[in-house]
C-alpha cells in the first residue's frame, strides 16, 4: 500500500520562520524610530505650549510666571513667582503644574524662563532671559526650543545654539 504523508517537514517550517524574522528585523527599527520621534514632537509641543501659558499668565496677572526644568529629571514646572525675585522658591512660589515628559525623552541642560508683565523673558538674575531648551530621544535625535529676547518661541531640528 502506497501512502503519501501530507504536511510540512521541520526544515520548511524553519525556513519560513527565518524569513519572517528577517522581515520583522527590517520593519521594527523604523517603527521604533517613528514612535520615538512622535514622543519628541509631543514633548516639544508641550513645552512650547507651557512657555506660552507662562507668558499669558505674566501678561494677565500681577506676578510674573515662568517655567523651569533640570537635566537630571524628566519633569518641568510651570509656576507663578509670588515674591518677584526672579527665581523659584519652593515655599513661597505657586506651582501651577508639574509636567512629566514622555518616556525616552531627556532634557539636555537645565533651563529657566520667567516672563515679566510685558511678556519679555528674564533669567534667574532678572537679566534678559533669552535661551534654549534642547530635548533628545532614545535614538539621539535632538530638537531645540529657542526663546528670543522678545519672548518669541521657535523650534529647530538638531542641537543648535539659538541667536
**Do residues 121 and 139 make contact, with C-beta atoms less than 8 angstroms apart?**
no
Residue 162 counted as domain residue:
no
Q: What is the pTM of this model?
A: 0.84
Question: 107-148: per-residue pLDDT in tens?
Answer: 998 999 999 999 899 988 888 888 999 999 999 999 999 999
- Please choose, from the candidates 114, 108, 106, the residue with its C-alpha nearest in 3D space to the C-alpha of residue 133: 108
Residue 59 lies in a domain: yes
User: pLDDT tens for residues 41-53?
Assistant: 999 999 999 999 9
**Domain range for residue 14?**
10-157
Domain count, the chain: 1
Residue 32 lies in a domain: yes
Amino acid at each position: 500500500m502506497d501512502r503519501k504523508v501530507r504536511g510540512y517537514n521541520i526544515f520548511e517550517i524553519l525556513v519560513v520562520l527565518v524569513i519572517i524574522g528577517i522581515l520583522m528585523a527590517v520593519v521594527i527599527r523604523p517603527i521604533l524610530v517613528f514612535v520615538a520621534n512622535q514622543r519628541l514632537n509631543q514633548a516639544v509641543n508641550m513645552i512650547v505650549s507651557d512657555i506660552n501659558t507662562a507668558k499669558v499668565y505674566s501678561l494677565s496677572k500681577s506676578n510674573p510666571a515662568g517655567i523651569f526644568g533640570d537635566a537630571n529629571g524628566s519633569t518641568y514646572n510651570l509656576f507663578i513667582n509670588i515674591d518677584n525675585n526672579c527665581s523659584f522658591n519652593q515655599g513661597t512660589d505657586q506651582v501651577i503644574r508639574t509636567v512629566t515628559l514622555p518616556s525616552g525623552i531627556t532634557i539636555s541642560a537645565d533651563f529657566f524662563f520667567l516672563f515679566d508683565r510685558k511678556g519679555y523673558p528674564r533669567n534667574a538674575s532678572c537679566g534678559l532671559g533669552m535661551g534654549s531648551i534642547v530635548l533628545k530621544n532614545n535614538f539621539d535625535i535632538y530638537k531645540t526650543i529657542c526663546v528670543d529676547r522678545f519672548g518669541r518661541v521657535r523650534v529647530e531640528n538638531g542641537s543648535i545654539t539659538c541667536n
